[in-house]
Amino acid sequence: MSFRRDIAGMSTVQWAVVCGCSFIIALGAGLGLLTPSPQRLDELRRELLPSEPQKPADQAATRSIGTVQQVPFRICGRGAGDCVVDGDTFWYRAEKIRIADIDAPETEQAKCSSERALGDRAKHRLAELLSEAPFSLEGYGSRDRDRYGRLLRVVYQNGRSVGQILVAEGLARPWHGRRRPWC
């Protein structure tokens, strides 16, 4: 009852304000100005778009990205382009990629000088490996990106994981779901 009384007692100016606000909200929604958050968009995509076809169990954890032509990689610094950040992270075609199957020592946020030295060796070796032959990138597990927004990928070169090459050379260790100290 009080709602009807409120409506009946509104002045022309008050009605104009209510109608104007309603129009602006409808127009904003129609123009896409009022959009859901990125998390809500992901939820809507999962709900509304058909799911991916089921893959055999042995392929479920990987998504092939394709073969990358041989390109020179440098150590990141000034300038844009394909470069290596550290022993398990590099930039390729404006995407930051985290090699998902290894953990390499830090270089910039190293906890001790031995970690920094090993991290520098891993970084330079990764640049060598990526530059010497074409490679392919494959998805890792169910996540596409890490919490920093980097693509999570396993890098394969001539049928071998580049990450496992670094592990075999003592420049990285296998990824076990969390970082461990190097010092």
Q: pLDDT of 108-165, one tens digit each?
A: 888 899 999 999 999 999 999 999 999 999 998 888 999 999 999 999 999 999 999 9
* Same domain as 150, residue 62: yes
Domain count, the chain: 2
* Same domain as 67, residue 28: no
150 is catalytic: yes
Q: Which domain holds residue 71?
A: 57-174
* Same domain as 153, residue 92: yes
Query: What b/e string do you get for 150-179 counting C-beta neighbours within 10 Å, with b at 16 or more?
Result: bbbbbbbbeeebbbbbbbeeebbeebeeee
Which is catalytic among the residues 106, 116, 125, 138?
A: 106
Which is catalytic among the residues 121, 125, 150, 153?
A: 150
For residue 89, the SS3 value is strand
106 is catalytic: yes
* Same domain as 61, residue 46: no
pLDDT, greater one: 21 or 144: 144
Which is catalytic among the residues 4, 98, 108, 145?
A: 98
169 is catalytic: no
* Same domain as 61, residue 43: no
pLDDT tens readout for residues 39-91: 555 554 555 444 443 333 333 334 555 677 778 899 998 767 899 999 999 99
Domain assignment of residue 182, yes or no = no
